[in-house]
Amino acid sequence: MGTKIVPVSITCKSLSKKQRSLEILARLKRLYPDATCSLNYSTPVQLLVATILSAQCTDERVNKVTPALFSKFPDAASLAIADLVELESLVRSTGFYRNKAKNIQAACRMIVTEFNSVVPNQMEQLLKLPGVARKTANVVLAHAYGINAGVTVDTHVKRLCERLGLTEAKDPVRIEQDLIGLLPQPDWENWSIRLIYHGRAICKARSPICVACELADLCPAANKPVVVG
């Protein structure tokens, strides 16, 4: 039998955005069944710090930095009184180290003085901490406390959701709201993690491997044809 070229967009156009979202979720679960947070941490405050450090930096790099950091400053109390120059030196390789060190220390001081040295488990309280926006708060709530308060939107999630046609928004908060309306709440956080895995492996920023992508028939951006028959 000969082969024929079928545009991958046929399946994409036949489903609603909600249907596509749920099918994408099912496939991501199959593709990355063991996907979990890539950051190494032992406590909520360590997760908070690692997530702050991960901004515009790879999780791999953060995981190389945090062992020495947490060995020296394992908790909010020690980070709150750390020498700022030493703190900057320990996190330097993650980029934007001065601002990150300042925010980490300020956040830990607030945790000590206003939250009895315990990282809060409510979105509104987390957002009061310096250096913490919804992305960081969602990660901490989901992985430290098992609370799916929202959908984490990082650069991978933003890029893939735009390519998949699940949002037209550019602002992470608006993207999050679009995704909340499309996905079951228990899957909000692991959706993001699995998309991050897929973004690293297949749907790369500069050269997405559409011909090897198991989401291609659901993706408006995958304009390359596939061979069937």
Q: What is the phi/psi pair of residue 163, to 5°?
A: -65, -35
Please answer whether residues 137 and 174 qualify as being in contact, where contact means their C-beta atoms are separated by less than 8 angstroms. no
Contact status, residue 96 vs residue 56, Cβ threshold 8 Å: yes
And the tokens for 42? 């032992």
Per DSSP, the residues of 135-170 read HHHHHHHHHHH----S----HHHHHHHHHTTS----
DSSP label of 226: E
Structure tokens belonging to residue 153:
């939107």
Q: Which of 118, 149, 124 is nearest to 48 (CA)?
A: 118
Catalytic residue among 59, 75, 128, 135: 135
| Residue 59 annotated as catalytic | no
d(CA 15, CA 12): 6
Burial class of residue 26, CB neighbours in 10 A (0-12, 13-18, 19+): exposed
128 annotated active-site: no
Q: Which residues pair with 226 in a beta bridge?
A: 6
> Active site residue: 13, 100, 154, 170, which one?
154
Query: Cα 80 vs. chain centroid, distance in angstroms?
Result: 26
H/E run at residue 4? strand 4-6
Catalytic residue positions?
135, 154
